């Protein structure tokens, strides 16, 4: 009989786990509240092209993920960042900073998660409201059961809200905290000639040029402190404050145009558990993702892969 898995979250952890299980012959359903895959690798489409408000680039510290990034580079989905970054601010000067093992997106970031999802079935705009032993309950009132494994791959605070029926897992995850980031798509003329700027500033942290979005478009990422200050602010207020800060940081005489903004409330886990995954084997439920394994795309990818390998090994 074919094994079945239900996976909540189509970010890189959930997609990696789903793709490996589907490749091994499992029947896999992936549920995500968004309209597509990607999570924090999602794409923002514009009249002028596309840009990323999520992860600014991908980095690899260990061989398996480095091999994956190199494969995506050969396929034209990524390109190595070879020019380095500028660090500083206009009124203090700029210094060159090296970028090692950094890859920028050469295609829409969501293409990566769609690819590794493989033949798993994606249920987009499908909000899961509860995880139960071997089952998931959806917002539309349906409960889908008879799963051999249910795998939860969303940020820890969102996962905790789903786990009332699984108190052991809920208690282990309850203490994981995340720090937020505001991200903006901004367009301006002038400023330093580079693709990446790291700011010496407590409000704005990073700007990454978005060449697929037309001339002068950048993704600008706030500091955690900025996002915590403006956590409940209207996006217009946060955008205006960030744009004002950039004028001074870049030494611009022309205004900065804000084209889009997004608050990543769960941008980075502050105290991840340091495990590859968590499991309640008696009830067939596993937890994966960066809140479990550690901050960054690479640990999330490794978490999804490790969970899938453990599931397949136990099923033999």
Q: What tens digit of pLDDT does each residue of 110-163 get?
A: 999 999 999 999 999 999 999 999 999 999 999 999 999 999 999 999 999 999
SS (H, E, C) 231-277: CCCCHHHHHHHHHHHHHHHHCCCCCCEEEEEEEEEEEEECCCCCCCC
CATH superfamily membership of 1-55+109-177+272-316: FAD/NAD(P)-binding domain (3.50.50.60)
Nearest CA to 21 out of 8, 6, 32 is that of 6
What's the pLDDT score for residue 191?
Answer: 86
Instruction: Specify the range with the lowest mean pLDDT, choosing from 3-17, 90-104, 167-181.
Output: 90-104
Tokens of 1: 């009989």
pLDDT over threshold 90, residue 205: yes
Rounded distance, CA 177 to CA 134, Å? 27
Q: What is the pLDDT of residues 14-43, one digit of tens each?
A: 999 999 999 999 999 999 999 989 999 988
Instruction: Answer for the pair 135, 147: CB distance below 8 angstroms, yes or no.
Output: yes
pLDDT over threshold 90, residue 315: no
Instruction: Answer for the pair 54, 12: CB distance below 8 angstroms, yes or no.
Output: no
pLDDT over threshold 80, residue 7: yes
Residues forming a β-bridge with 130: 137
- Averaged pLDDT of the chain: 94
Domain boundaries defined on the chain: 1-55+109-177+272-316, 81-106+178-269
Strands 93-97 and 78-80 turn out to be unpaired
Instruction: Quickly state the pLDDT bin for 292 (edges 50, 70, 90).
Output: very high
CATH number listed for the domain at residues 81-106+178-269: 3.90.660.10
């Amino acid at each position: 009989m074919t094994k079945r898995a239900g996976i909540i979250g189509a970010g890189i952890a959930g997609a990696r786990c789903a793709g490996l299980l589907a490749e091994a012959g499992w029947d896999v359903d992936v549920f995500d509240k968004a309209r597509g895959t990607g999570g924090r690798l999602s794409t923002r489409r514009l009249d002028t092209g596309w840009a990323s408000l999520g992860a600014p680039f991908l980095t690899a510290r260990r061989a398996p993920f480095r091999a994956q990034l190199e494969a995506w580079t050969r396929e034209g989905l990524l390109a190595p960042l070879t020019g380095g970054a500028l660090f500083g601010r206009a009124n203090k000067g700029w210094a060159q900073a090296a970028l090692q093992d950094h890859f920028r997106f050469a295609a829409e970031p969501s293409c990566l998660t769609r690819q590794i999802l493989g033949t798993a079935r994606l249920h987009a705009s499908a909000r899961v409201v509860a995880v139960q032993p071997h089952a998931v309950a959806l917002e539309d009132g349906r409960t889908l059961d008879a799963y051999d494994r249910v795998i939860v791959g969303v940020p820890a605070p969102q996962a905790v809200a789903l786990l009332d029926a699984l108190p052991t897992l809920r208690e282990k995850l309850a203490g994981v905290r995340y720090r937020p980031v505001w991200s903006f798509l901004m367009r301006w003329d002038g400023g330093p000639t580079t693709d990446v700027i790291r700011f010496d500033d407590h409000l704005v942290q990073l700007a990454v040029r978005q060449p697929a979005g037309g001339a002068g478009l950048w993704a600008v990422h706030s500091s955690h402190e900025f996002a915590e200050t403006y956590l409940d602010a209207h996006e217009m207020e946060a955008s205006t404050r960030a744009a004002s800060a950039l004028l001074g940081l870049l030494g611009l005489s022309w205004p900065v145009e804000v084209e889009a903004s997004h608050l990543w409330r769960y941008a980075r886990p502050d105290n991840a558990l340091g495990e590859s995954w968590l499991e309640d084997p008696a009830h067939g439920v596993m937890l994966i993702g960066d809140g479990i394994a550690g901050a960054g795309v690479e640990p999330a990818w490794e978490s999804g892969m490790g969970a899938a390998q453990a599931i397949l090994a136990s099923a033999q």
